[in-house]
Amino acid sequence: MSYVDGFVIAVPTANKQAMIDHAKYIDPIFLELGATRVLECWGDDVPHGKQTDFYRAVAAKEDETVVFSWVEWPDKATRDEAMQKMMQDPRMDPASPMHQQMPFDGARMIYGGFNPVLEFKA
């Protein structure tokens, strides 16, 4: 079964196109290294909860939109190998211009790797 990396970030709403441009730069690297699918989702119907919610998880401000993204891999081994390669890839260097102009606060991003336990398809 596949392996999934999930990400949630708060992006200033005015930076929507900059976020899309950033993803167009980064996401092909995931595919090049073996990912089977990358999906970037701009928050549209994200309710505020009473105890917890996506906004609190990333400390989103009033002028920010929650973005939910994931990367699907064929398996965890492919993902682990890709992550090692990404750490050595000059395109991922934190000093690169792309990273210096990130359209969101990366310190508030939450992410993790997940093993699917159940899948339904149409």
Q: What is the pLDDT of residues 28-77, one digit of tens each?
A: 999 999 999 999 999 999 999 999 999 999 999 999 999 999 999 999 99
pLDDT of residue 99: 65
Q: How far apart are CA 50 and CA 60, in angstroms?
A: 15
Strand partners, 72: 4, 37
User: What is the DSSP-derived secondary structure letter of residue 109?
Assistant: -
pLDDT of residue 106: 87
Structure tokens at 4: 């999934």
pTM for the model stands at 0.90
What's the chain's Rg over C-alpha atoms? 15
Ordered domains of the chain (ranges, CATH)? 3-114 (3.30.70.100)
pLDDT tens, position by position, 86-116 = 989 888 877 776 666 789 998 999 999 999 9
CB 4 within 8 A of CB 71: yes
How much is the average pLDDT of 15-21?
A: 96
For 65, residues 6+ apart whose C-beta sits below 8 A from its C-beta are 10, 11, 12, 13, 16, 42, 43
pLDDT grade, residue 24 (50/70/90)?
A: very high
